C-alpha cells in the first residue's frame, strides 16, 4: 500500500511540474507592450499591429541608398550604427531601423514566424515609400529576417548583409558531422525544450537572483572574446537581458518568442535558396568573427561554400560583436554598396 507521505510527495512533484509549464499572468501595462512610452513614429500594418521605426542619415527622399537595419536578440531600433557622417554623406545613405515584433515600441505578433518578419520589412518599406528596392542589413538574431527576405521578397532587395548570422541547427542541409559535437547546439536544444514545455521554470531561472543564469550574458567570457568585452565596457550591451527587464512579462515573452522562431522549424532551408542576383547586379554578404563564441565560424564557411553567390568575410580576431568594432561597420557598408573587397577579411581556412 502506498503511504500517505508518498502520495503527498507525488502530489507535490506533480504540482511543481505543473507550475513549470505555467507562466505568471502578465501585469496590466500602459503604452507599448513592454510598458515603454511610445515616442517614436510608427506605422500601422495591414493586420492592425503597430511597428515603430526611426530614420538616420540622409533624408530618404534625397538618399542614394536606403538600408533597413534589423536588430538582434535583446536589442532594438536604438542600436548603434558605427558609420561616420563623412561616409554617410559620401554614399548618400538613409538608415531605417525598426523595433521587430514585440520589441521596444512595436506590437507583438501573435502569428510571428520567419515569413512574417520579411512581410513586416516589406510593408515598412512600402508605407515609408523608399522605393521598389532596398538593402537589408541583419545583425545576429536579426539575420533570420534577412534570410526570410532572401526567400520571400528577393525581388525587393538591392543587396543584403548578414552579420554574425544565427545558425539554426535544424536546417536539413547541415551535415551531422559538422554540428554533432557543437556545445551550442545542445544549449539551443535545451533552451527550446524549456521554452516550449517549461516556460514557467525558464521565467524563474532567468529572473532569480541567487544562481547565475542567462541574465549574466553581458561581459561573460563564455559568450564573448576579448574585443567583444572591450566593446561592452563602452556600450549599453543588451539592455533587455538584465534581470530587471526580464521580470517584465512583455520583455520575457518577446525574447522567448523570438528565440523559438529563430531556432524552431523553418519552412525552407537557406542552403536551397537561389541567387537573387543572377546577373550579378548586386551582392549578398556574410560577415563572421573567427573567435565568435555564439555562432561557429565553421558553419558559416560551410554555408558560404554551399551558396557560392554569397561573399564571405571573416574577421580574424573578431567575436560576436564585430558590428561594433571601429571601422568594421564602414567596411561592411562599402562591401554592400560599392562591392569593395577587403583582403584582410578573407578566411584563412
Give domain limits for the chain: 42-175+278-345, 177-263
- Read off the pLDDT band of 234 (50, 70, 90): confident
Check residues 33 and 165 and name the one with the higher pLDDT: 165
DSSP state of 333: H
Instruction: Report pLDDT for 26.
Output: 59
- The fold adopted by the segment(s) 42-175+278-345 is Rossmann fold (3.40.50)
- In whole angstroms, give the CA distance from residue 251 to residue 260: 14
- What phi, psi does 12 have (nearest 5°)? -65, -40
* 172, 192, 268, 296 from 168: Cα distances, Å: 10, 12, 11, 11
Residue for cell digits 539575420?
Answer: 143
- In whole angstroms, give the CA distance from residue 12 to residue 8: 6
- What phi, psi does 233 have (nearest 5°)? -70, -20
pTM of the predicted protein model: 0.88
Whether 213 shows a pLDDT value over 90: the answer reads no
47-70 residue pLDDT tens: 999 999 999 999 999 999 999 999
Can you read off the three cell numbers belonging to residue 184? 551550442
Does residue 287 sit in helix, strand or coil? Answer: strand
Q: What is the mean pLDDT of the chain?
A: 86
80-131 residue pLDDT tens: 899 999 999 999 999 999 999 999 999 999 999 999 999 999 999 999 999 9
Whether residue 342 contacts residue 316, with contact meaning beta carbons closer than 8 Å, is answered with no
When computed from its CA atoms, the radius of gyration of the chain, rounded to whole angstroms, is 21
Whether 212 shows a pLDDT value over 80: the answer reads no
- Read off the pLDDT band of 32 (50, 70, 90): low
Instruction: Report pLDDT for 246.
Output: 67
Cα torsion 148, 154, 155, 159: sign: positive
Whether 296 shows a pLDDT value over 80: the answer reads yes
Whether residue 288 contacts residue 313, with contact meaning beta carbons closer than 8 Å, is answered with yes
- In whole angstroms, give the CA distance from residue 244 to residue 296: 30
Whether residue 124 contacts residue 114, with contact meaning beta carbons closer than 8 Å, is answered with no
Does residue 145 sit in helix, strand or coil? Answer: helix
Q: Among candidates 294, 341, 297, which has minimal Cα distance to 316?
A: 297
Task: Look at strands 65-70 and 50-57 and give their pairing.
Answer: unpaired
In DSSP notation, 302-317 reads: HHHHHSTTEEEEEETT
Kindly report the CA angle at 319 between 144 and 186, in degrees rounded to 5? 60
Check residues 210 and 53 and name the one with the higher pLDDT: 53
Q: Among candidates 228, 230, 237, which has minimal Cα distance to 319?
A: 228
Whether 298 shows a pLDDT value over 60: the answer reads yes
Q: How far is CA 8 from the centre of its chain?
A: 45
- In whole angstroms, give the CA distance from residue 204 to residue 224: 25
Q: How far is CA 229 from the centre of its chain?
A: 19
6-21 residue pLDDT tens: 433 333 333 334 344 5
Instruction: Report pLDDT for 328.
Output: 94
- What phi, psi does 291 have (nearest 5°)? -100, 20
- Read off the pLDDT band of 201 (50, 70, 90): confident
Whether 306 shows a pLDDT value over 90: the answer reads yes
Amino acid at each position: 500500500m502506498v503511504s500517505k507521505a508518498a502520495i503527498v510527495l507525488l502530489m507535490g512533484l506533480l504540482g511543481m511540474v505543473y507550475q513549470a509549464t505555467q507562466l505568471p499572468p502578465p501585469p496590466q501595462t500602459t503604452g507599448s507592450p513592454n510598458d515603454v512610452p511610445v515616442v517614436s513614429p510608427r506605422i500601422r500594418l495591414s493586420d492592425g499591429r503597430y511597428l515603430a521605426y526611426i530614420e538616420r542619415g540622409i533624408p530618404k527622399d534625397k538618399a542614394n541608398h536606403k538600408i533597413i537595419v534589423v536588430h538582434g536578440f535583446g536589442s532594438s531600433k536604438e542600436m548603434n550604427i558605427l558609420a561616420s557622417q563623412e561616409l554617410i554623406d559620401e554614399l548618400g545613405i538613409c538608415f531605417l531601423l525598426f523595433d521587430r515584433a514585440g520589441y521596444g515600441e512595436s506590437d507583438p505578433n501573435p502569428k510571428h514566424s520567419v515569413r512574417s518578419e520579411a512581410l513586416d520589412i516589406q510593408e515598412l518599406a512600402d508605407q515609408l515609400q523608399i522605393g521598389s528596392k532596398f538593402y537589408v542589413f541583419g545583425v545576429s538574431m536579426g539575420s533570420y529576417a534577412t534570410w526570410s527576405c532572401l526567400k520571400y521578397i528577393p525581388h525587393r532587395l538591392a543587396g543584403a548583409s548578414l552579420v554574425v548570422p544565427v545558425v539554426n541547427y535544424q536546417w536539413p542541409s547541415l551535415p551531422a558531422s559538422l554540428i554533432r559535437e557543437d556545445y551550442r547546439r545542445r544549449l539551443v536544444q535545451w533552451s527550446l525544450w524549456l521554452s516550449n514545455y517549461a516556460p514557467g521554470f525558464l521565467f524563474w531561472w532567468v529572473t532569480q537572483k541567487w544562481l547565475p543564469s542567462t541574465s549574466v550574458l553581458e561581459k561573460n567570457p563564455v559568450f564573448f572574446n576579448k574585443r567583444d568585452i572591450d566593446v561592452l565596457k563602452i556600450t549599453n550591451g543588451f539592455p533587455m537581458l538584465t534581470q530587471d527587464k526580464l521580470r517584465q512579462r512583455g520583455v520575457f515573452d518577446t525574447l522567448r518568442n523570438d528565440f523559438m522562431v529563430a531556432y524552431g522549424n523553418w519552412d525552407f532551408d537557406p542552403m536551397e535558396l537561389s541567387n537573387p542576383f543572377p546577373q550579378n547586379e548586386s551582392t549578398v554578404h556574410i560577415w563572421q568573427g573567427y573567435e565568435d563564441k555564439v555562432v561557429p565560424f565553421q558553419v558559416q564557411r560551410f554555408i558560404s561554400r554551399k551558396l557560392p553567390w554569397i561573399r564571405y568575410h571573416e574577421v580574424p580576431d573578431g567575436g560576436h560583436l564585430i558590428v561594433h568594432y571601429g571601422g568594421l561597420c564602414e567596411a561592411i557598408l562599402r562591401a554592400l554598396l560599392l562591392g569593395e573587397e577587403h583582403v584582410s577579411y578573407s578566411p584563412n581556412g
